[in-house]
Amino acid sequence: MSAGSGSPRARRSLRRPLRALSVALDGAGLKTSVSVVPASSASKVLYYVTLLQSQKLKVAALLDSDQAGDKAAQQDELVHLLTSKQILRTKDYCGGTVARAEIEDLLRDTLVDVAKDNMGWDVTTTASSQPSRPIIDIFTKEISGFSKFKLARAFVRWLSTHDISDLTTDERAGVTALFKAINNAVK
């Protein structure tokens, strides 16, 4: 489970790229029995964890490393329900350069290239000059009409014609480590 944007369309935008990445990793991705359930916001993670655990499902929570994710990760109830290895933070898989890392920061360089090449959204200069700023924050401020859903859809299309080796070394390492942690958390 992960915290994500509020609308159903935005929640789907998280699920598809993660599943596509998992398939592209061919064996190093998520187990086929693992489902990604976007919680729409960090504040709702506790609700989803409680609901899914009541159905006897194994659960891990992936939280962005922003203020909302920090607050959710420190909720006594969540800490009581999940072990420390089941509460995953994006900053642990992003190489430590982005101060308030969000899930999209795992693929920062590739998303900048995909947006520029496929959508005409060029944030290359800003992203290069501000490496500690979350990439979605940059897109939101720089691109009029920016949409996470459109970016996610463009990434999935890009991934269908590219190989996992087309990601940067840091991106591959981060995604692989995240998927391994998710698989271990729901054993």
* Residue 24 lies inside a defined structural domain of this protein: yes
* Residue 93 lies inside a defined structural domain of this protein: yes
Nearest to 21 by CA among 169, 150, 158: 158
Bridge partners, 89 (sequence order): 63
* Residue 122 lies inside a defined structural domain of this protein: yes
Average pLDDT score over the chain: 90
pLDDT of residue 137: 96
* Residue 109 lies inside a defined structural domain of this protein: yes
* Residue 1 lies inside a defined structural domain of this protein: no
Burial class (CB in 10 A: 0-12, 13-18, 19+), 130: middle
Mean pLDDT: which of 9-18, 33-42, 69-78, 122-131 is highest? 122-131
Q: How many domains does the chain have?
A: 1
97 — pLDDT class (breaks 50, 70, 90)? confident
pLDDT of residue 41: 87
Q: pLDDT of 108-162, one tens digit each?
A: 999 999 999 999 999 999 999 999 999 999 999 999 999 999 999 999 999 999 9
Q: pLDDT of 51-83, one tens digit each?
A: 999 999 999 999 999 999 999 999 999 999 999
Single pTM value for the model = 0.88
For residues 152 and 20, give the distance between their C-alpha atoms in angstroms, rounded to a whole number. 11
Q: Residue 11: is its pLDDT beyond 50?
A: no
pLDDT of residue 2: 53
For residues 14 and 178, give the distance between their C-alpha atoms in angstroms, rounded to a whole number. 14
Bridge partners, 38 (sequence order): 2
Can you give the residue range of the structural domain that contains 90? Answer: 8-185
Nearest to 17 by CA among 182, 139, 150: 150
Q: Residue 96: is its pLDDT beyond 80?
A: no
Torsion region of 145: left, alpha or beta (phi above 0 gives left; psi -120 to 50 gives alpha): left
pLDDT of residue 159: 94
Helix, strand, coil shares of the chain, percent, nearest 5, are 60, 5, 35
pLDDT of residue 18: 87
* Residue 2 lies inside a defined structural domain of this protein: no
* Residue 173 lies inside a defined structural domain of this protein: yes
Quick one: how far is CA 127 from the chain centroid? 18
